[in-house]
Structure 1
Amino acid sequence: MSRLMNSEEEILVAHEEIENGEDPSPTEDTKRRIKTRHILAFLGFLGFANVYAMRVNLSVAIVAMTNSTTNESESSLASRHSMFGLYSPLQSTFYESVASYGKNSSHKDVCPKKPRANIEMSFSDLRDTSGGEFPWNERTQGLILGSFFYGYVATQVPGGRLSELFGGRHVVGLGVLLTGVFTLVSPIAARMYWSWGIGPFLVLRIFEGLSEGVTFPAMMAMFAQWVPPLERSRITAIVYAGALFGTVISMPISGILCNIDLPVYWWLLGPGGWVLCFYIFGALGVIWYIAWMALISDSPATHPSICPQERRFIEHSLKQPDKHHHSRGNHATVTSPADDDLVDEGIPWCQVLTSLPLWAILLTMCGQSWAFYTLLTELPTYMDKILHFNIMQNSFLSALPYLLNWLCSLPFSWLADWLLSAGYLSTTASLKIFNSLAVIVPSLSFVGIAYAGCHSNFILALLAISGGFAGAAYSGVQVNHLALSPRLAGTLYGLTNAISNVCGFLAPYATGSIVNGHETITRWRYVFLISAGINLVLNFIYILFASGEVQPWDNPRRNSNTANNPQGAFSRHSVNEDREDESS
């Protein structure tokens, strides 16, 4: 009887498909060249490019904003840090001891400034940016750069969970929109310094972090709805690599904008061109939001213009058992968030928080975040103070690691998907191999930079190598959440990304504490060695405990109505499971 009902249902579905001119097989994708999920990937790429441009432009702009010939007094700085609970007598003693060490440093511990003929290149007409508006020293700059992450970590888990329950379209869209609005008003908040101190600017950066924090986990929840398992590495790399592209374009463009000398009587714009870094990228965020809301839906089932065959292909592929684990005959059932016969019963927090594979993800993400944000927020300062590149060269060369990261992430992701589909690697092995490539090679490059001294060409080569291999992470830990739990991928990503991004605040703050106004090779050597050591140790833990198998706590109970409804029990989902059982 059940077989007869299954056949009748399949015939009805096939008639519908034939009438629409589509292939009746749900295992075949649409023949359209531009698929709806490709539009999602493209807009996601642009969205993350924009949010990262809005995040990192301050790393370049702050060089032009700061007057390097003056510094705040220690008492003033201490009072401002104490307002946020970040300065204490113990820290003061630490800073004093570090400062005393710096006074005894040899003059050989600094790189000689290059002759102007060697550094001007084609930018000989650039103005001097050392006379910025604000007397912020390294610790104050580190505090400003790190304040973003207070808000960023707070909305990670809520953003992922809201997307799982209500859809990610609005969560991602509003996150980018609000980030754009806060970016637009950043120059005004910065210039309130003369009346209110750094407080208004810090608060604004925190709110910017709050709005941007929802975007990454919300997009992961959308991947669980839209991306077939054998396309995870590729589409994840394309979308999240948008962050790298945003970094690549933001740094040099910000460098160019900072060198525009605007009329002093334009209070909102002048006197420094650095304000354009905020106005231009903020406006682009608002424009992107309009396109996103017009073209994207929460899932294939709710998209008004998706090809029916593509919708069936996506939904069918998401409901199949994972065939790429190493234990054949014991396939875990993949639970698609789009299943109509499943209900969300919440999150089994005890099982989630005691899961060793999830802890492995969390720890390696902490190590990678520390290394990433060390470069993201501090590399322009290193280029300026140690290697003595001017701001134009600084902005272009600081973008080099991210350019290589972006370019290399795509072939790494194609290779990973091919190795999986061809059966050469299990999911677990693939995740560990590509994640290790993303950690070991960059960490060794950091060690090389630490001992490279003033050999700028060698340092640039190591930075390029580091950035290129870091792109393998999009085929490693970045897709691991979807493998562990498609149903809770957004929440899991939000949880691990929130905790790991605490390093986003600690890395620049620790760098500022180590350097503390004494720009020497030795101080920066400690910065790079600490970053490499943390990254390597935590990746070793990932190798030991990571997994690519769907965890038991991912599967929610079946809707009780389905159990009591014989017709509902024989859905297409059931047919697919029966076929898998027969074939095995």
Structure 2
Amino acid sequence: VAPQSALNRSNRACPLQNKNSSRPEIHYEFDWSPKTQGLVLGAFYYGYMIPQLLLTLLTPVAARTHVGLLIAIRFIIGFVSGPMFPAAAALWGKWVPPLERSTIPPAAQTGTNFGIIITTSLVSLLSTSKFLGGWPSIFYVVGIFSCLWFIGWSCFAYNSPSVHPRISAKEKTYLLQYSSPSSKNGILFAIPYFGIFLVTIVSGQIVRRIRAKNILTTTNVRKLQTIIGAVGSSIFLITIGFLGCDHIGAVICSILAVVFLGFHNSGCLISHLDVASNYAGTLTGITNSLAAIPGFVAPAVVGAITNNNVREEQEWNRQSEYKTDHEIIQ
């Protein structure tokens, strides 16, 4: 997410192109009020959250009814979860000011890793207990906590600072000054994940053929995929630092830097199943916890490098080089 977040600040690091003040007035097809626009945008976020909560609670019932119903529910949960990261990115573009975009998004994403730690331990306890029938209690407990979270989210979260009723006028003015259009953020953040989707499928099929023909061992295949993902991403991160104010080139390199990480999905992320399939969940929780450490360290390093100055191109070049070193070492 960091490359795209950095691009959101490019208009303050690079000079804006001259605009002709004599441009004709633009007339839009839908002349909606800000409140109506907020409702339209909000429907997207609620549309993917609510089905997850309800379907998680219905999972045990579906499993006892028919396996086909269970498969359908799991498919729908995965389908509605797809917009999660693009939706979060759209909100970050409106709520997170430039100097905090290297801190808040990474810190928020570490919540996923923390959740794995909690749920992994909770699943082990609930599955062996008699609480609500044993294993079904896992879905009931997680679903109930998700509903409670949703209530809090509905009370405190708003689509943009312009429609929030409780923030001060000073804070609202400050946030709106750096707010980015939702359409640009949504597209910018969605393309890399679509690319990861394609890379994961294609690389998985290639790896399957390589293993079937015994060209490489499983260990070497996993290492090769991890190296391709890390080095490929690093190359494009370095390239961003030398593009200057070439916005199109920076966007393309940013997208490719994230797309190359798709090789990790069938590389190091699958290695837990190769090492100890029975403990893959526990191992994933441990390794993801360790992987979350850069999420707290990197923002501090980036802040020190940029020295709270988003205008210095050289300092952001150093940030790209730091990120590259981290990818290669990892």
Match of 1:438 in 2: 229
AA matched with 2:326: I
Amino acid at match of 1:159: T
Q: Which runs of 5+ in 1 are unaligned?
A: 1-33, 69-136, 192-256, 275-383, 539-584
More helix by share: 2
Describe the SS at the equivalent of 2:244: coil
Answer yes or no: is the 8 Å Cα contact 2:232–2:257 preserved in 1.
yes
38 and 151 in structure 1: CA distance in 2 versus 1, 3 angstrom threshold: closer
Deviation per residue, 1:541-569 (Å, 9 max, x gap): xxxxxxxxxxxxxxxxxxxxxxxxxxxxx
Query: What is the CA distance between 1:61 and its match in structure 2?
Result: 1.9
Aligned to 1:148: 108
User: Secondary structure of the equivalent of 2:269?
Assistant: helix
Q: Residue 93 of structure 2 contacts residue 185 of structure 2 at CA under 8 Å; is this kept in 1?
A: no
Which of 45, 60, 63 does residue 93 from structure 2 map onto? 63
Aligned 8 A contact 2:237 2:253 in 1: yes
Letter in 1 for 2:78: F
Equivalent residue, structure 2, for 1:395: 186
Q: Which residue of 2 aligns with 1:423?
A: 214
Contact kept in structure 1, 2:94 and 2:180, CA below 8 Å? no
Match of 1:157 among 90, 113, 117: 117
Task: Tell me whether 1:462 sits opposite 2:253 in the alignment.
Answer: yes
SS at match of 1:399: helix
Q: CA 1:442–1:523 in structure 2 vs 1: closer, same or farther (change >3 Å)?
A: same
Q: Check the 8 A contact 1:514/1:523 in 2, yes or no.
A: yes
Q: 1:46 aligns with which of 72, 79, 82?
A: 79
Q: Is contact 1:445–1:466 with CA below 8 Å preserved after alignment?
A: yes
Q: Is this contact kept in 2: 1:160–1:490, CA < 8 A?
A: yes
Structure 2: how far apart are the matches of 1:428 and 1:415? 15
**CA–CA distance in 2 between the matches of 1:516 and 1:183?**
37
When residues 429 and 43 of structure 1 are mapped into structure 2, their CA distance, relative to the original with a 3 A threshold, is: farther
Measured after TM superposition, the shift of residue 494 of structure 1 is 0.6
2:272 maps to: 481
Residues 418-446 of structure 1 show CA distances to partners (whole Å, capped at 9, x for unaligned) of 32233333211111111111111111000
Inter-partner Cα distance in structure 2 for 1:180 and 1:452: 46
Evaluate the alpha carbon distance shift between residue 151 and residue 392 of structure 1 in structure 2; reply closer, same or farther with a 3 A threshold.
closer
Displacement of 1:404:
1.1
Which residue in the other structure is 2:321 paired with?
529
- For 2:209 and 2:69, locate their aligned partners in 1 and report how far apart those are by CA, in whole Å: 22
> Do 2:230 and 2:328's aligned partners in 1 also have CA atoms closer than 8 Å?
yes
Q: How far is 1:496 from its partner?
A: 0.5
Partners of 1:495 and 1:470 lie apart in 2 by: 20
Q: Provide the C-alpha distance between the structure 2 equivalents of 1:389 and 1:189, rounded to a whole number of angstroms.
A: 21
- Structure 2 Cα separation of the partners of residues 430 and 189 of structure 1: 46
Give the alignment's TM-score, normalised by structure 2: 0.61
Query: When the two structures are superposed, what TM-score results if normalisation uses the length of structure 1?
Result: 0.37
Where does 1:310-389 land on structure 2 (aligned, <5 Å)? none
Once the two structures are superposed, residues 237-263 of structure 1 have per-residue CA deviations (whole angstroms, 9 ceiling, x without a partner) of: xxxxxxxxxxxxxxxxxxxx659x76x
| Amino acid corresponding to residue 325 of structure 2 in structure 1 | G
1:463 to 1:173, Cα distance in 2 relative to 1, 3 A? farther
Check whether the contact 1:152–1:498 (CA below 8 A) recurs between aligned residues: no
CA distance in 2: counterparts of 1:41 and 1:186, whole angstroms: 24
Name the CA distance, whole Å, in 2 between partners of 1:174 and 1:417.
37
- Alpha carbons of structure 1 residues 424 and 181: separation in structure 2 relative to 1, 3 Å: farther
Residues 179/146 of structure 1: CA separation in 2 closer, same or farther (3 Å cut): farther
Counterpart of 2:322, as a letter, is I
Which amino acid in 2 is paired with 1:409?
Answer: T
> What is the Cα-based RMSD across aligned positions, in Å?
3.9
Residue aligning to 1:138: 99
Residues 190 and 45 of structure 1, relative CA distance in 2, 3 Å threshold: closer
Give 1:467 deviation, angstroms.
2.8
Residues matched between the structures, number: 249
Tell me the amino acid that sits aligned with residue 42 of structure 1: F
Q: 1:500 to 1:492 in 2, by over 3 A?
A: same
1:400–1:463 CA contact under 8 A, matched in 2: no
Shifted more, 393-402 versus 476-485: the winner is 393-402
Change (3 A) 1:178 1:438: farther
Q: Is the 8 A contact 2:89 2:185 kept in 1?
A: no
Question: Shift in Å at residue 403 of structure 1?
Answer: 2.1
The answer to whether the Cα contact below 8 Å between 1:160 and 1:493 also exists between their aligned partners in 2 is: no
Q: How big is each residue's C-alpha offset from its partner over 1:208-229, in whole Å with a ceiling of 9 and x where there is no partner?
A: xxxxxxxxxxxxxxxxxxxxxx
> Partners of 1:500 and 1:434 in 2: how far apart?
18
Mapped to 2, the partners of 1:524 and 1:406 lie a distance apart of 29
Q: Go from structure 1 to structure 2 and tell me whether the alpha carbon gap of 1:65 and 1:36 turns closer, same or farther (over 3 Å shift).
A: closer
> Closer, same or farther in 2 for the Cα pair 1:506/1:397, shift >3 Å?
same
Q: Distance in 2 between matches of 1:57 and 1:501?
A: 21
Q: In 2, are the aligned partners of 1:163 and 1:490 still within 8 Å (CA)?
A: no
Q: How far apart, in 2, do the equivalents of 1:171 and 1:460 lie?
A: 42
Matches within 5 A, 1:204-283: 258=160, 267=165
Distance in 2, Cα, partners of 1:172 & 1:418: 37
1:506/1:433 CA distance change after superposition, 3 Å: same
Q: Is the 8 A contact 2:110 2:295 kept in 1?
A: no
User: C-alpha displacement at 1:488, in angstroms?
Assistant: 1.2
Identify if the C-alpha distance between structure 1 residues 398 and 175 changes in structure 2 by more than 3 Å, giving closer, same or farther. same
| Cα shift readout 1:269-292 (whole Å, capped 9, x = no counterpart) | xx9xx9xxxxxxxxxxxxxxxxxx
- Find the residue that maps to 1:477 and give its secondary structure: coil
> 1:39-85 CA distances to partner (integer Å, 9 max, x unpaired)?
587356336536x44xx64443243236x6xxxxxxxxxxxxxxxxx
Secondary structure of the structure 2 residue equivalent to 1:518: coil
Are the counterparts in 2 of residues 149 and 505 from structure 1 also a CA contact under 8 Å? Answer: no
How far apart are residue 399 of structure 1 and its match?
2.8
Q: Distance in 2 between matches of 1:44 and 1:428?
A: 32
Q: Distance in 1 between matches of 2:329 and 2:212?
A: 31
Larger Rg: 1
How far does the alpha carbon of each residue in 1:140-190 deviate from its partner, in whole angstroms, 9 at most, with x for none?
x65544553675544433432443565577546754663464255236446
For 1:414, the equivalent position in structure 2 comes to 205
